[in-house]
Amino acid sequence: MIGIYLPGAFIIGGLLLVNRNKMLSNLLVLAFLVLQWIFTVYEYRHINITEFNYFKLDALALLLLITLSIIAIPAMYHSHIYLTTKKDTPRNSAIYYAATVILLTTLSAAYLSNHIAVTWIFIEMTTLSASALIYHRRNNRSLEGTWKYVFVCAISITFVFIGILFLSFSLQHRGGGGLTFDALLTNAATINIFWSRLAFIFIFTGLTAKLSLVPMYTAGIDAKDKAPSPAGALFASVLMNVGFVGFFRIYIVFANTSLHSWTNHVILIAALLSIFVATVYMVKVKNIKRMLAYSSIEHMGLIMLGIAAGGIGYYAAILHLILHSFIKSSIFFQVGQVYRVYKSKSIYDVGNYFKYNLTGAIVMLLCFIWVTAMPPSGLFISELMIFRALFQSHYIIVMVLVMFFLTMIIWAFGKNIFKLLFAPPVGFDDSNVVKINPVESISQFIFLGLIVYLGINPPVEFVTLIQETIKNLPK
Amino acid sequence: MISLILILLASLFFTGLVIWTKSITSGRKGPGIFQPLKDVLRLFKKGAVYSKTTGIIFQVAPTIYFASVMMAIFVVPFGQARGFISFEGDFVFFAYVLATGKFFSIISALDTGSSFEGMGASREALFSMFAEPAFFILMGSFALLTGHSSFQGIFTAMHFTTKFSYALGALATFVLVIIAMVENSRMPFDDPKTHLELTMVHEVMILDNSGFDLGLILYTTNLKFAMYGALIANFFIGAIPWYLALLVFFGVQFVFAITIGLIESFTARFRMSHNAQYIFALSSVSLLIFFGVLLVLGKFI
Amino acid sequence: MINVLLIIFTISLLYLSIADRLLTYIKILAFQGIILFGVAFIELIQINPVNLALVLLETIVFKTIFVPLFLNYIIKRNKITRDSEPFLPNFISLIVITLIIIITFLLSNSIVDSSISKIYFIVSLSAIFSGLYIIATRKKIITHVLGYLVIENGVFILSLAVGTEMPLLVDLGILLDIFASVFLLGIFVNKIGDVLKDVDVDQLKKLKD
């Protein structure tokens, strides 16, 4: 099926790029969504079958693919709204749609690929389409964001490639198929320690650009800030997941070698530093979208903490990853509306949101509660499990530190969100405020509901899939 | 013994050849190649004038400087033939006997009490300090490669069997040529022609020397060049018959002199503040040679 | 022979650290391309001829001719001043890059695996970190691209170490090289040069918190 999906999606992307007709482009986007869903359903029914040597849909890929397909629908819907309200030129719209389609396609392919080099190629391709989205507004600042993103990503993929080279050094038999994740896992016991240590360091450092962790988190911040909100929603959810896929598959290999505890320490340090950085900037930041981007860093840090702690932390990490994708994309969709009301993302220029957009304000309030992991949010469950895992693996000091940081983050987050919702805006002319149709918030409500459902009463199949994902990790 | 004679012979025409090359490239006819030697002989006939502010050091320093270079020449071998003296570790002796001479020329420059000379002395000391590790690391890597620590042992054991040792010889030549330029204060590190006090290095140090002393210092420059030329020639002589070796020796001296002439004709002097980094780069290059040797031998620390 | 070429490559890194002008950087990159051509030719002589031809073409046409010419064109077109404008004096750069080489050399001591030639490891890692150092300490955006190209050369050398056993990885390295260089330079020539005139990093400091 991937043999049909990839060419099909690329053809749709290509057509979108050359097409200037509005009607036709809407139809093409719809066609892509249909294709995406057919593909998802087909793969769901053919789990764990290798296609074209390099693609295999395992549980993790399936979970993330479904997440992507779910998020893709509102993303396209909000993109449509964004482009029509902004009255963009047909050329810019065409590039935007084409880039989004290519981004989603390469992401899906990267989830499915079972060969580290193939994953790498598709991650490389996501950079290309993402940069087109970041540069959508075509001004100085978006150019700056694009350049930084492209440059940091270029370095990061180089690092990943160096890591892959070191990984190939570490193999005993350097045959053709030695670098599939399955083969790596089978040969995990025999790999050379020195090279694989270097390999892990380089691959992990490289992937932090996509994962939004220290040290290469900066690229993602500017990208999420400068890209249009629907694209930002994709960056903050599915694009981060692709980094996680690359990381997690390698991590499974390393967890089965004697380097397991060493890798855990590396991850723990990166995670802790990420949460620290996120805290520092959350307190300081004055731009709503950048604040959300830093919040993504914090959540990714938590996920990594779960992985490093092990035990129940693995389960919690995967759960948190999926729930975070939903919540972060819905906030970004919502911020698009805020921007349309106030024409600004700065926290100084916004306020009294309840007065101007009641539904949107309710969504914003709920999103705040959800993203800071207060009950009944599903993230509460996953964070609780992560802390439990930390406690069980005797990372008490880490846990205390992280709890302290999280308190700060909740305070900073709340301060800004309440300013948006309740405090009166400074110098805001409310004579002709744009009316936002409440229909546009339906997808966010659905996502919020989904988070509660998956967190509190997860369906059995969902749980089995997560269990399946982490079955190769040592207990 | 034979190396001493050969170096003395080469020293007679070396600077002349450099000046001749520079003249030809700048479109002049140029003096005969023995003109510098004639200058030196003329100076030898004169008596020296000493400033009242100088002490005994100023008077003995040129002689010690000359003697130190002669001592250094004593240990330089000629292919298979040993130098005048030869013992294990004589390249250390070589470096430090040169350093002694340099030390005396520096303190004699300070002895005059002239601020210009002090400035020149400080620069000379700085540049020599940066060039010294390059020489030691280079010779150290050869000692490691061959397992000998005397010049004669190193050069005899350097059979050019592998391509690697050829390349090593070429790199070493490069480093030695530059060291020779630094030690003799030639272009592009220092321009002996311009007497601008802001940029002078060596020639400002000998402003107060006159007559016999000056002649001695000038002749020592020739000797030093010939000595480095002999060292470079030794990299290529190896174990070939003496008549060929003789040819190689003079060939190398000749090419070396012309190279210096060409470099001085076609490059501008480096900026004073950039000299240190270029000289230090030599040490880095020698370090790479050292690592290369370590890799080839499979020896790691 | 490979050892000699690789040592010369490393010397070119040292020269890079003390180079003042952008043109010198570009010449060094072209020179490195020639060295990589030599290394690839000797190392990969046994692999499939078509693949070998691809690798050699990439080193000689892309790395040695195309990229330097293109960089030169960019510098002329955007009227970038010729100085490299480092934040630190060149002397310190030289010491740092020498230290990088020493440290990678010492690090390579702890390798117990004998199937990989250590010199590849040392040279490529030195190139990678020197490239990062150049990116971190130079002011112009174009020097960032130059530093990135040095990293790419280092990666290429590293991929040659397993080149005979896994030619696929060398091809991937080439793919990365072409993709990233064309992409970065393309953005540079089309966008950055037009929007921001005299280009240095100070103009990319608007996005911050």
Q: How many domains does chain C have?
A: 1
pLDDT on residue C154: 93
Question: Which chain A positions have a beta carbon within 8 Å of C168's beta carbon?
Answer: 117, 176
Residue C111 distance to chain B (closest CA, Å): 11
Q: Give the chains touching A; criterion: ≥3 Cβ pairs < 8 Å.
A: C
CB-based contact (8 Å) between C91 and chain A?
Answer: no
Please give the residue of chain C at the shortest CA–CA distance from B276. C91
Token readout for C22 is: 């952008």
Token readout for B55 is: 């002490």
Q: β-pairing, A50-51 with A55-56?
A: antiparallel
Which residue positions in chain B have pLDDT lower than 70? Answer: 159-163, 197, 238-239, 299-301
Q: How many CB atoms lie within 10 A of CB A84?
A: 12
Mean pLDDT of all residues in C83-103 = 88
pLDDT on residue A87: 83
pLDDT on residue A140: 81
The 10s digit of each residue's pLDDT in B23-48 is 999 898 888 888 888 989 999 998 88
Please give the residue of chain C at the shortest CA–CA distance from A145. C207
Question: Which chain C positions have a beta carbon within 8 Å of A155's beta carbon?
Answer: 132, 135, 148, 151
Q: How many CB atoms lie within 10 A of CB B301?
A: 6
pLDDT on residue B82: 79
Mean pLDDT of all residues in A138-164 = 88
Q: What distance in Å separates the CA atoms of residue B231 and residue B8, rounded to the nearest whole number? A: 14
Backbone angles phi and psi of A280, in degrees to 5: -60, -45
| Chains B, C: CB pairs < 8 Å | 59
pLDDT band for position C203 (50/70/90)? low
Question: Which chain B positions have a beta carbon within 8 Å of C100's beta carbon?
Answer: none
CB-based contact (8 Å) between A164 and chain C?
Answer: yes
Domain of C25 in residue numbering reads as: 2-80+88-110+122-201
Q: What distance in Å separates the CA atoms of residue A92 and residue A84, rounded to the nearest whole number? A: 12
Ranking A76-85, A439-448, C86-95 by mean pLDDT, the lowest is: C86-95
Question: Which chain B positions have a beta carbon within 8 Å of C105's beta carbon?
Answer: 291
Residue B288 distance to chain C (closest CA, Å): 7
pLDDT on residue B301: 46
CB-based contact (8 Å) between B174 and chain C?
Answer: no
Any domain includes C116: no
Residue C89 distance to chain A (closest CA, Å): 25
Location of structure tokens 């220290």? A214
Three-state helix/strand/coil letters over chain A: CHHHHHHHHHHHHHHHHHCCCHHHHHHHHHHHHHHHHHHHHHHHHCCCCEECCCEECCHHHHHHHHHHHHHHHHHHHHHHHHHHHHCCCHHHHHHHHHHHHHHHHHHHHHHHECEHHHHHHHHHHHHHHHHHHHHHHCCHHHHHHHHHHHHHHHHHHHHHHHHHHHHHHHCCCCCHHHHEHHHHHHCHHHCCHHHHHHHHHHHHHHHHHHHCCCCCCHHHHHHHHHCCHHHHHHHHCHHHHHHHHHHHHHHHHHHCCCCHHHHHHHHHHHHHHHHHHHHHHHHHCCEHHHHHHHHHHHHHHHHHHHHHHCCHHHHHHHHHHHHHHHHHHHHHHHHHHHHHHHCCCECCCCCCHHHHCHHHHHHHHHHHHHHCCCCCCHHHHHHHHHHHHHHHCCCHHHHHHHHHHHHHHHHHHHHHHHHHHCCCCCCCCCCCCCCCCHHHHHHHHHHHHHHHHHHHCCCHHHHHHHHHHCCCCCC
Cβ–Cβ below 8 Å for B281 and C3: no
| HSE of A5, CA atoms in CB hemisphere, 13 A | 25
Check the CA dihedral C44-C47-C49-C53 and report its sign: negative
Any domain includes C209: no
Q: Which residues, at least 6 apart from A433, have a Cβ–Cβ distance to it below 8 Å? A: A341, A356
The shortest CB-CB distance from A225 to any of C172, C195, C207 is to C207
**DSSP letter (8 states) at residue B27:** T
Look at residues B236, B259, B261, B258 and name the one whose alpha carbon lies nearest to residue B247. Answer: B236
Question: Which chain A positions have a beta carbon within 8 Å of C201's beta carbon?
Answer: none
Token readout for A468 is: 């399946």
pLDDT band for position C205 (50/70/90)? low
Q: Which residues, at least 6 apart from A207, have a Cβ–Cβ distance to it below 8 Å? A: A156, A160, A243, A246, A247
Check the CA dihedral C174-C179-C180-C181 and report its sign: positive
Please give the residue of chain B at the shortest CA–CA distance from C6. B292
The shortest CB-CB distance from A158 to any of C111, C152, C166 is to C152
Contact present, B and C (at least 3 Cβ pairs less than 8 Å): yes
Any domain includes C66: yes
Residue A140 distance to chain C (closest CA, Å): 7
Cα separations (Å) of A357 from A61, A162, A370, A420, A449?
38, 50, 20, 11, 21
Q: What distance in Å separates the CA atoms of residue B104 and residue A206, rounded to the nearest whole number? A: 57
Picking from C112, C183, C184, C209 by the largest number of A CB atoms within 10 A of its own CB, the best residue to mutate is: C209
pLDDT on residue B255: 92
CB-based contact (8 Å) between B287 and chain C?
Answer: yes
Cβ–Cβ below 8 Å for C90 and B285: no
Look at residues B202, B198, B189, B195 and name the one whose alpha carbon lies nearest to residue B267. Answer: B189
Picking from C153, C183, C188 by the largest number of A CB atoms within 10 A of its own CB, the best residue to mutate is: C183
Q: What mean pLDDT, rounded, does chain A reach?
A: 90
**Which residues in chain C (4-63) have CB-CB distances under 8 A to chain A?**
none
ipTM of the complex: 0.92
Picking from A152, A168, A218, A282 by the largest number of C CB atoms within 10 A of its own CB, the best residue to mutate is: A168
Task: Let me know: does B286 contact B133? Beta carbons within 8 Å.
Answer: yes
Task: Let me know: does A123 contact A111? Beta carbons within 8 Å.
Answer: no
3-state secondary structure (DSSP) of residue B78: strand
Q: Indicate the residue type of C137.
A: T
Bridge partners (DSSP) listed for residue C190:
none
Question: Which chain B positions have a beta carbon within 8 Å of C97's beta carbon?
Answer: 284
Q: Indicate the residue type of A383.
A: E
Cβ–Cβ below 8 Å for B296 and C3: yes
Cβ–Cβ below 8 Å for B289 and C91: no
Cα separations (Å) of C41 from A218, A439, C44, C52, C56?
39, 64, 6, 8, 7
Mean pLDDT of all residues in A386-412 = 93
Cα separations (Å) of A74 from A10, A106, A231, A277?
21, 19, 11, 31
Cβ–Cβ below 8 Å for A117 and C168: yes
The shortest CB-CB distance from B163 to any of C1, C10, C20 is to C1
pLDDT on residue A442: 92
The b/e string for A302-320 (b: 16+ C-beta within 10 A; e otherwise) is: bbbbbbbbbbbbbbbbbbb
**Which residues in chain A (173-192) have CB-CB distances under 8 A to chain C?**
174, 176, 178, 192
pLDDT on residue A143: 84
Q: What mean pLDDT, rounded, does chain C reach?
A: 84
Task: Let me know: does A319 contact A437? Beta carbons within 8 Å.
Answer: no
Q: What distance in Å separates the CA atoms of residue A412 and residue A443, rounded to the nearest whole number? A: 26
Q: Indicate the residue type of A390.
A: L
3-state secondary structure (DSSP) of residue C140: strand
Calculate ∠ Cα A135-A139-A144, nearest 5°.
65
The 10s digit of each residue's pLDDT in A358-377 is 999 999 999 999 999 988 89
Rg, chain A, Cα only: 21
Token readout for A244 is: 């996680």
Q: What distance in Å separates the CA atoms of residue C6 and residue C38, rounded to the nearest whole number? A: 10
The 10s digit of each residue's pLDDT in A93-128 is 999 999 999 999 999 999 999 888 899 999 988 988
| HSE of A133, CA atoms in CB hemisphere, 13 A | 31
Picking from C145, C151, C204 by the largest number of A CB atoms within 10 A of its own CB, the best residue to mutate is: C204
Cβ–Cβ below 8 Å for C166 and A168: yes
% pLDDT > 90, chain A: 61
| HSE of C157, CA atoms in CB hemisphere, 13 A | 31
pLDDT on residue A411: 94
Q: What distance in Å separates the CA atoms of residue A233 and residue A241, rounded to the nearest whole number? A: 12
More confident residue, B166 or C159: C159
CB-based contact (8 Å) between C158 and chain A?
Answer: yes
Token readout for A166 is: 């070191």
Residue C36 distance to chain A (closest CA, Å): 17
The shortest CB-CB distance from A285 to any of C175, C176, C209 is to C209
Q: What distance in Å separates the CA atoms of residue A2 and residue A109, rounded to the nearest whole number? A: 8
pLDDT on residue B168: 78
Cβ–Cβ below 8 Å for C169 and A117: yes
Residue A180: exposed, middle, or buried by beta-carbon count in 10 A (0-12, 13-18, 19+)?
A: buried
**DSSP letter (8 states) at residue C115:** S
What is the distance, to the nearest Å, from the Cα of residue A8 to the centroid of all Cα atoms in its chain?
A: 24
What's the distance, Cα to Cα, between the start and end of chain B in Å? 38
Task: Let me know: does A163 contact A199? Beta carbons within 8 Å.
Answer: yes
CB-based contact (8 Å) between A215 and chain C?
Answer: no
Q: What distance in Å separates the CA atoms of residue A375 and residue A369, rounded to the nearest whole number? A: 8
Q: What distance in Å separates the CA atoms of residue A8 and residue A29, rounded to the nearest whole number? A: 12
Question: Which chain C positions have a beta carbon within 8 Å of B278's beta carbon?
Answer: 18
The 10s digit of each residue's pLDDT in A64-95 is 999 999 999 999 999 999 998 888 888 889 99
pLDDT band for position A266 (50/70/90)? very high
Q: What distance in Å separates the CA atoms of residue A310 and residue A260, rounded to the nearest whole number? A: 10
**DSSP letter (8 states) at residue C202:** G
CB-based contact (8 Å) between C106 and chain A?
Answer: no
Task: Let me know: does A149 contact A219? Beta carbons within 8 Å.
Answer: yes
pLDDT on residue C172: 85
Q: Which residues, at least 6 apart from A457, have a Cβ–Cβ distance to it below 8 Å? A: none
Orientation of helix C2-18 relative to helix C90-108, angle to 10°: 150
Any domain includes C68: yes
What is the distance, to the nearest Å, from the Cα of residue A416 to the centroid of all Cα atoms in its chain?
A: 23
